[in-house]
Chain A
Amino acid sequence: MRLNDSLLGAILLVFAGWVWWLTTYFPSFPGQDYGPNLFPRILAAGIGLCALLLLLRGLRAGGAALVLEPWTRQPARVASFLMIPGGALAYILLSDPLGFIPTAFLLLLGLFLWFRARPVLALPVAAGMTLLVHWFFAGLMRVPLPRGLLDSVL
């Protein structure tokens, strides 16, 4: 998935303008010429300049506004692609109510099966990896992984 340079440049130009606008709310201090807004403004100007170059270049070169690779037309592949960010999102939403162990186990098992691992292998590996990671991070390194449903057991 690839936007044309002109489109990308236009989006980034708006972004640079937005950053600059945000810096106008930064305070300035009397007697101090170089305040907290100086550096971000230089960066916003830099992004704006690059965006402008991209915009001009894209307009000169022409071409389609959006280029899609062949895999984006195959639903199974698109689903595989979405599984990674989707899995992370599921973890963000579920790990607090369910707790780390059930969430991680379900996540691994779901992904294993989606990517066509054999269930005989997927089940024990998902369980083993979950317990291993939990032992290492929660036990050894004292990371407060959410306990969730298993609060009374752990």
Chain B
Amino acid sequence: MDALLQAFGLVFDPFVLGVIGVSALFGMFVGAMPGLTATMATALLVPVTFFMPPVPALGAIVTATAMAIFAGDIPGAMLRMPGTPASAAYADESYAMTQKGQLNLCMGVNLVFSVAGGMIGVAVLIAFAPLLAEVAINFSSYEYFWLACLGLTCAVFMSNADPVKGFLSLFFGLLLATVGIDPAAGFPRFTFDNVDLMGGVNFVATMIGMFAVSELMRGAVSLDQDAKVVVQAVGNIFKGVGGVFRRYWLNFLRGSAIGTAIGALPGAGADIAAWISYAMSKRFSKQPEKFGTGEVEGIVDATSANNSALASAWIPALVFGIPGDSITAIVIGVLYMKGMNPGPTVFQENPQLIYAVFLIFILANIIMLPLGWAAIKSARQILRAPRNMLLPVILLFCLVGSFAMTNSLYGVVLMLAMGILGWVMEEHGIPVAPLILGLVLGEMLEQTFVQSMIKADGHWLEFFSRPIAGTLGVVTLGIWLVMLGRGFRRGPVAAPA
């Protein structure tokens, strides 16, 4: 109880509330701009939050991402261009509703169900994270080793990309994590006598390069083809939403449940949750033939799912230190930078911090309602923001942000190199997210692996000797076998557009 009061004190501080407000506006804007993703919003926020205490830093990230995931629905419905990948699953459906003259209802449903789905995800996070933490406190290096393996494998397994290329990206990320002074023996690995590399590959600069600079390079090519944006006027968006809720409350619960479950899986996030729940909605609908023609049913499922996934992705991140998606991978990086290693001990040593995160999540979902309404009303102006001036300004943010992470040009050089690498990878259908997860988890994976090897002393079965470790190990090996079988049978898999 004491910790909860402390958490209230931490969150309801004018500075923290100010940060949350500004981040909310920032998240709304980035999410609503097609081509700028929620992950990019987080990447650009990290250098700013680096200089803040933990609570406002986490508050900024939580709020900005929650807003961005909702705001991505706006251009999806108005222009058929999803603002973030998490809205891609139902952008066509939303646009079809708009063409039928139901833009108001579509926006209202998106907003209300985003808030409600987000709240369900938060409720599950609050209920289960502390319980899981009590179990996790007894984990040894074996359990952590298998958890890290499982998380990284899921990241490859759940992404739509070719598994071979997914693993390639993952191994490369893990390899990047080994650059620098080796934690066990203190030997500098892959540093080529460079002083900057001794400290390792800076994670934030890498992320800004991979998620922002490569995106700018892609955007710069098509800048001259910008279509003139014509946006319909928006009326009363809340009219009729109550009726939709009464009719499709089961869809709402199902979408939120699927979203929460997928978000809590290590390695899968909001965009996958939206795709799967939309597909489920169609599968179990009484009128599946109407999907794609502007029916609200699938949107209810999917828009609830992506916001609930966002919150539940924090469960594995906070409890085990294993990210649920690329946004929480960034969060874990931020926690490490603040000297707070995520894991079950945080729940015992700093419970007020965990409660503060919960409070911020609730707060973010509450202010989403008025802010989302304002964003929908001003969508015309937001979507008209000139992209030819936006791109250079974002580049400047990237440059200064990565400079600030190292206080030297090393960060900028690294960002540029990683931006080019990220672009080349995407061109070849190699997903970027596994690399980032590998870079974040690399040190933990290596440490738990080497510790376990030393403890097991050559006896491989020791890795399966404890009940939870054994279960996790068998599940992980099972997924590896399935993927191997798939890789042999199907050969190259065409990446979906």
Residues of chain A whose beta carbon lies under 8 Å from any beta carbon of chain B: 1-3, 5, 8, 12, 19, 22, 26-27, 29, 33-36, 38-40, 43-44, 46-47, 50-51, 53-54, 57, 60-61, 71, 76-77, 80-81, 83-85, 87-89, 91-92, 95-96, 100, 104, 107-108, 111-112, 115-117, 121-122, 125, 129-130, 133, 137, 141-145
- Distance in Å from the Cβ of B114 to the closest Cβ of chain A? 30
In the docked arrangement, what's the CA distance between A19 and B172, Å?
11
Chain A CB within 8 A of B29 CB: no
A112 touches which one: B172, B184, B224, B392 (CB < 8 A)? B392
Q: Knowing A43-B174, A50-B171, A107-B392 touch, does A92 contact B187 (C-beta < 8 A)?
A: no
CB atoms of B396 and A133 under 8 A apart: yes
CB atoms of B187 and A36 under 8 A apart: yes
Q: Could you say which of B172, B396, B450 has the most chain A C-beta atoms within 10 Å of its C-beta?
A: B396
- List 22 interface pairs A-B (beta carbons < 8 Å), by A numbering: A19-B190, A27-B185, A33-B453, A39-B446, A40-B190, A84-B213, A84-B391, A85-B416, A85-B420, A88-B399, A89-B416, A92-B413, A95-B409, A96-B409, A100-B400, A104-B400, A107-B392, A112-B388, A115-B220, A115-B223, A133-B400, A143-B400
Q: How large is the interface on B (under 10, 10 to 19, 20 to 34, 35 or more residues)?
A: 35 or more
CB atoms of A129 and B396 under 8 A apart: yes
- Distance in Å from the Cβ of B460 to the closest Cβ of chain A? 13
In the docked arrangement, what's the CA distance between A143 and B400, Å?
9
CB atoms of A46 and B400 under 8 A apart: no
Chain A residue numbers with a CB within 8 Å of B412 are 88, 91-92
In the docked arrangement, what's the CA distance between A125 and B404, Å?
23
Chain A CB within 8 A of B229 CB: no
CB atoms of A54 and B164 under 8 A apart: yes
Question: Per-residue CB proximity of B26-46 to A under 8 Å, as 1/0?
Answer: 000000000000000000000
Task: Considering the complex, give the chain B residue whose CB is closest to the CB of A72.
Answer: B221
Chain B residue numbers with a CB within 8 Å of A143 are 400, 403-404, 407
Q: Knowing A5-B492, A143-B403 touch, does A47 contact B454 (C-beta < 8 A)?
A: no
**Residues 223-273 of B at the A interface (beta carbon under 8 Å):** 223-224
CB atoms of B487 and A53 under 8 A apart: yes
In the docked arrangement, what's the CA distance between A91 and B185, Å?
38
In the docked arrangement, what's the CA distance between A22 and B164, Å?
24
CB atoms of A141 and B178 under 8 A apart: no
- Distance in Å from the Cβ of B165 to the closest Cβ of chain A? 8
Chain A CB within 8 A of B449 CB: yes
Q: Knowing A3-B428, A77-B221 touch, does A53 contact B419 (C-beta < 8 A)?
A: no
- Tell me how many residue pairs across A and B have CB atoms closer than 8 Å: 160
Chain B residue numbers with a CB within 8 Å of A141 are 48, 51, 404
Chain A residue numbers with a CB within 8 Å of B189 are 26, 36, 40
Chain B residue numbers with a CB within 8 Å of A76 are 224
Chain A residue numbers with a CB within 8 Å of B370 are none
**Residues 152-207 of B at the A interface (beta carbon under 8 Å):** 164-165, 167-168, 171-172, 174-175, 178, 182, 184-185, 187, 189-190
Q: Could you say which of B190, B222, B403, B407 has the most chain A C-beta atoms within 10 Å of its C-beta?
A: B403
Task: Considering the complex, give the chain A residue whose CB is closest to the CB of B190.
Answer: A22
CB atoms of B389 and A122 under 8 A apart: yes
CB atoms of B167 and A81 under 8 A apart: no
In the docked arrangement, what's the CA distance between A46 and B51, Å?
38
- Distance in Å from the Cβ of A109 to the closest Cβ of chain B? 9
Chain A residue numbers with a CB within 8 Å of B168 are 12, 47, 50-51, 54
Chain A CB within 8 A of B397 CB: yes
CB atoms of B427 and A108 under 8 A apart: no
CB atoms of B393 and A129 under 8 A apart: yes
CB atoms of A80 and B453 under 8 A apart: no
In the docked arrangement, what's the CA distance between A27 and B188, Å?
10
Question: Per-residue CB proximity of B408-436 to A under 8 Å, as 1/0?
Answer: 01001101100110001001100000000
In the docked arrangement, what's the CA distance between A43 and B389, Å?
42
In the docked arrangement, what's the CA distance between A27 and B224, Å?
55
